[in-house]
Amino acid sequence: MSFEKRTIAVLEEALNSLDEGFSDLPPFEPSVDVDQVRSCLAEVARRMRNNYPYHHPFYLGQMLKPPHPVARAAYALSLWINPNNHALDGGRCSSAMEKEAVAEIARMFGWETHLGHLTGGGTLANLEALWVSGKLHPGRAIVASEQAHYTHARISGVLGIPFREVACDGSGRMSLPALRAIVEECDVGTVVVTVGTTATGAVDPLPEVLALGQRHGFRVHVDGAYGGYFRLADNLAPGTRATYDRLAHADSIVVDPHKHGLQPYGCGCVLFRDPAIGRFYKHESPYTYFTSSDLHLGEISLECSRAGASAVALWATQRALPLAAGGQFARELARCRQAALELVLRLQADGRHVVPFPPELDIVVFAPRARSASRVSRLTEALFHETAREGLHLAKAVLPRSLFADAWPDLAWDEDHLTSLRTCLMKPEHLDWLGTIWETYRAVADRVLDER
């Protein structure tokens, strides 16, 4: 058995309790064809087998982390109500839970006052942050690193805002000299600092970008969709820790609870340090906001209907695992990073791989040694497919020469990029399973690298 099933009985208990809360209503028994439901679910189960084992420690591929059991159960429980957190009329209790949960996330970053809410994911959260930037600095450019998520360039195009891309250093972080050159030659309104890039997990140098922003008057937006929660980890390198210690000085922050926050898809979060940003959202909707003069979340969001279930699940998870330094949630984040550090030690001891830079969070990039970039890419493809045959699922990343130049000076670059292996050690269980994971991978490497 690989799926957790014990909480199903607990969910039924909670559902009975929820039902008791509406016992003053006239009796009503919704009709349901149980045989039809059973038949459909059986077919769904068969179809869903055609998936990678995202829930299992042998999946180290993309940024997919299983929801916590309490999140999964709370989400399901809320569906018997199916609240809509656009307005208090559609999600009175779940709206309150969203405000409480988002406030706890804001406090994690050092903000006691803020404006923020949940979104359908990081893309929409970043859209809102950059939309506000465009309102505050119309016509001024948005800047992000070449390793930032592609969504920033796309969003800038959607919003009609000029966009500039900044080169990275040899560790995949935004290059400060390159950023200075852009800031001095064009009118920059916002710099996006990525805290955990998608490909490599690199953390841009926030303290230096903030200092540059003070001199040139641009906003600083932090895209922490993947890496934001590592604010609580206690085993970061000093340079990385310096960025997390300055998060409270950013103008806006995005984080995805559906990544390291243990939530079902989709659950993003956007936060603004200045609550006065709410003036840009102001609108009238007399057919929606009529039961309360309190703030409706739809009044500070570009989205209209939003799943209240996401807020219920997040609130329940943070109730079980508070966002506190030294707590269980923080310790499990640290275990993810520790797994990445220990995998690097094994790769380095093996001698047949190059790790171009140490992991800053829990993503490890590595490549098999070979004489040319094209040969490295071919070996990577073989390792990727052969490990999958053993049930061990990794990922690939196509990366530029600049990220390998320092660690691999003798590599013949017959192509401008090479394909490397990439692992996301996002489950705390990865630390316990690392020995088995490594032995499985090494057996494949023995075949692929020795034979070719």
Residue 415 pLDDT exceeds 60? yes
Q: What is the structure's pLDDT at 311?
A: 97
What is the CATH code of the structural domain delimited by 328-451? 3.90.1150.10
Tell me the whole-structure pTM to 2 decimals.
0.95
**Looking at residues 180-203, what average pLDDT do you find?**
97
Please, which pLDDT band fits residue 290 given cuts at 50, 70 and 90? very low
Q: What is the pLDDT of residues 300-352, one digit of tens each?
A: 788 888 889 999 999 999 999 999 999 999 999 999 999 999 999 999 999 99
92-320: in CATH 3.40.640.10: yes
Please, which pLDDT band fits residue 293 given cuts at 50, 70 and 90? very low
Q: Which residues contact 230 (CB under 8 A, 6 or more apart)?
A: 195, 196, 236, 240, 244, 260, 333, 337, 361
Q: What is the pLDDT of residues 46-78, one digit of tens each?
A: 999 999 999 999 999 999 999 999 999 999 999
Q: How do strand 252-255 and strand 188-194 relate by DSSP bridges?
A: unpaired
Residue 294 pLDDT exceeds 80? no
Q: How far apart are CA 204 and CA 248, in angstroms?
A: 15
Is there a common fold for 92-320 and 328-451? no
Name the residue among 27, 125, 11 with its Cα closest to residue 79.
Answer: 11
- The mean pLDDT value of the chain amounts to 94
Domain extent listing, the chain: 92-320, 328-451
Name the residue among 298, 148, 129 with its Cα closest to residue 219.
Answer: 129
Residue 291 pLDDT exceeds 60? no
* DSSP string for 159-187: HT--EEEE-B-TTSSBPHHHHHHHHHHS-
The distance from CA 288 to its chain's CA centroid, rounded to whole angstroms, is 32
Amino acid at 259: K
